[in-house]
Structure 1
C-alpha cells in the first residue's frame, strides 16, 4: 500500500473511531424506546402481558410509592399485586436490599414506559462510560462478544447494566489508585452477591481508604432507607431473603437461566447440597486464582478479568443478564487474544460466550418446542452456561500463552471494529 493510500485508510479509521460510539448509542436508545413502548402497549392490550423483570420493578415501585414497601417482601402479597396491576403474574419474589427498594419507589411515580426509559438510559450510560474508560478501543468488540446479555438485559429491563457499571467504575478507580473506588464498591450493596470479586481485590490490595468510603456509603444508604421506609423494613427484608433462599434450594427459581455451577449441577439431577459444595469449591478456586495472579504481579488486565469472573461465579444466584459484566473481562484480554488466536479460535470463543449468555433464548426455544405458554420449575430445564464458560476460559488461557502474531487472521477485523488502523 502506498503512502497516500495508507493515509487515506488511516483517515477512515479515525472517522470510524469518532462516529462508532454515536452509532452504538443510537442503536441502544432506539431499542430502549421500542421496548418502552412495548411495555406500555402490553399493559394496555386486551390480552394480559407476559411479565418480565421490569414489570416487577414497576409493581414494587408503585407499592413503595403507596407506602406499602414492607409488603413487597411477602411473595403472596406481591403476586396478588402483580395480578391487580397487570392482570397476570410471574414468579419474581422481591429480595433486593431496602436502599434499592427505596430507589425503585421513584420509578413507581412514573408510567411504566417512562420509568423503563429512564432506568435503562441511566444505567446503560453508566455502564458504557465505564467500559470506554476502562477498555478504550476494545469496548465495542467486547460488547459484541456479550451481545446476548445486552439484548436480554434490555428486553427484561433488569439491572445488569447497573451492576456491571459499578464493577467497571471500581476497576477504573482502582487502576488509578484512587480512593473513589470505594463509592462503586459501596453502591454494590444493591446486589451484594455480585461484589465478592471487587471486595476481595480491595482487600488484598489494602485499599483502606476505598473500603472506608464503601462502609460510609452503605451505612448512609441504610440510614436513609430506614428513615424513609421505617425500621420495620429490615425484618421484612430478612424474611424475604430467607424465603428467596428456600425457593433457590427447592428449584423454584429459573435455574435454566443462571450461569452458575450450582444451577447446572442441580438441574442435571445433583442434589442441592452436593451441587452447592462443588459450586463453592469452584468459587474458592477462582478466588485463589485472583490472589495468586496479584501476588505473582500478573498483568493488571489479567487480574481485573479474573476479578470479574469471581464477581459473577461466586454466588449461586447469577442470571444471564448479569453476564453483561463479562464484557469488562473480555475487554481486558480481547486485544491480546485477537493478536494470538488462530483462524477458528476467535469464532469459537465468541460462540462459547454467546451460548453461555443466551439462556433466555434457549428457554424461549424450549418453550416453543414444548408448546407451553410459560416455563415452570417442574420442567427441570438444564443450563450449560458454566460448561461453556469453563471451555472459554481454557481456550483463552491456551491462546494467551502464545507470542503475538502480526499476521493474526482476525487482527484486521478487530482493528476495524475497534476503530483503529490495523497492524
Structure 2
C-alpha cells in the first residue's frame, strides 16, 4: 500500500503529539500524577471528585463549591491550586461515578484513552480515505484535550456519530444527539438543523433520550441536584463574564472581551452571531441542492461558534467539521484555498495560548468560511453530492 506525502506528514505530526504527551508523562511534574504519585492540578480533578461524592451517596456535594473545592485540594495536595466546578447536568454524574471507582491515575488514563478512541472511531466512520483519517488525527485539538483530560473528544464523538448515522439510522443518531445533553450549550443549533432538514424521527429520538436520562437521574440521585444546577450554571456564567483572563474562552464573546468590549456588549455580539448561525443552518439544512456532508460540516463548525462558553478542548468538534468537508471533497479533491485554509485553522488552534486574543474562534470562522465557499462553488456548478459513491466510503480504495 502506497503512502502519499500528506499521509506521511500526518503520521509525523501524530508521532510528535504522542512524543510530547510521553514527555509530559515522564517529566517530574507529571501528566496525571507527579513523581510522588500525587494528582497533578488539572481539569480532570473536578470530574473525579464529583464522582467520589456520588459514590459516597452525596451527588449534591458536586454542586457545593466549598466542599467540591476542598475535595479537589485534598486530592492534589495544593490548597492554592485551581478550582474546577461541576457545571454539568446530574446525568453526567453516572460517568463520573463510574470513573471514580478506579484509582486516580487509572481513572484519568481510562477516561482519556476511551474518549480519544471514541473520537477516532467517529473520524474513521466519517473519513472517505485513510489519508483523511490520518490528517484529522493529526489536528492538535484532540491531543490538547487528551493531555488535560477534558470531555471534548467525547462530545465530538457524539456529534460525529449523530451526524454520520443521521441519513440511514435516524433513531440511533437521535440517541447520540440526546446523550450530548450532558453539555447542553453545545446543542443550541442541532434542533434547528433537524427540523429544517425534516429529520423528525431523529428529533423525537433525541428528545426521548434527554427525557429518559432526566428520569433515570432523578430516580438515582433525587431531584435536589437538578434544583442546584441552575444556580451552578449562573455562577459559572458569572465567572466567565467577570474574568479578566479571556484568552481561553474560544468564542466571539471571548474575542470581544479580549478586545476591550464590556461583558454586556460582548454577549449582545454573541447573541447576534447565534441568530445569524441559526438562520444559516436552517437555510442550508432545508436545501435539496446542498450535499449532506456539507450540511453536517456546517453544523459542526457552527456548534463551535454558537456558545459563549467555549474552550479549546471543545474545538475537537471542529475536527468533525473538517472531516465532513474532506468527505464531501473525496471525489473532486480539495483546492489550494481549502488546503491552506485548513492548515491555517489548525495552526490557530495550536497557537491559542501564545496570544492575548482567543485564536480558536478565528479557526472556527475559517473552517466555516471554507464550508460555505464550497457550498457556493457546488451550487454554481450544479453539484450537490448528496450521496458518496462506493469509492468514497470509509477507507475504500485507500
- TM class, shorter-length: 0.7 to 0.9
Runs of 5+ unmatched residues, structure 1: 1-10, 367-380, 404-417
Unpaired stretches in structure 2, ≥5 consecutive residues: 379-393
Q: Which residue in 2 is equivalent to 1:385?
A: 360
Contact 2:50 2:62 in 1 (8 A): yes
Equivalent position of 2:201 in the other structure: 209
SS at match of 2:83: coil
Q: 1:26 to 1:382 in 2, by over 3 A?
A: closer
Assess, with a 3 A threshold, how the Cα gap between structure 1 residues 73 and 159 changes in structure 2: closer, same or farther.
same
TM-score by length of structure 1 reads 0.77
Distance 1:390 1:20, change over 3 A: closer
Q: Distance in 2 between matches of 1:131 and 1:110?
A: 28
* Bigger share in helix: 1
Residue 162 of structure 2 corresponds to residue 170 of structure 1: yes
Partner of residue 228 from structure 2, selected from 219, 236, 241: 236
Deviation track 1:213-271 (CA, whole Å, cap 9, x = no partner) reads 2222222222222222222212222221121122122126x531122100110121101
For residues 87 and 270 of structure 1, do their structure 2 counterparts lie closer, same or farther at Cα, with a shift above 3 Å needed? same
Match 1:87 to one of 77, 95, 103: 77
Flag the 1:115–1:28 CA change in 2: closer, same or farther, 3 A.
farther
Aligned match of 1:105: 97
CA 1:420–1:105: 2 relative to 1, 3 Å: closer
**Structure 1 pair 218–348 and aligned structure 2 pair: CA distance change class (3 A):** closer
Counterpart Cα distance in 1 of 2:319 and 2:255: 22
| C-alpha separation in 1, matches of 2:10 and 2:165 | 22
Query: Where does residue 137 of structure 2 map in the other structure?
Result: 143
Partner of 2:149: 157
Structure 1 residue 25, shift from structure 2 partner: 9.8
Residue 342 of structure 2 corresponds to residue 349 of structure 1: yes
- Give how far 1:419 is off: 7.8
Number of residues paired by the alignment? 372
Match of 1:63 in 2: 53
Task: Indicate whether 1:296 and 2:287 are aligned.
Answer: yes
1:125 Cα offset (Å): 2.0
Structure 1 or 2, whichever has the larger Rg, is 1
Report whether the alignment pairs 1:12 with 2:8.
no
User: 1:323 corresponds to which residue?
Assistant: 315
The whole-number CA distance in structure 1 between the counterparts of 2:281 and 2:203 is 19
Provide the TM-score with structure 2 as the length reference: 0.82
CA change 1:316–1:123 in 2 (3 A) is same
Name the residue aligned to 1:274. Answer: 265
Change (3 A) 1:195 1:157: same
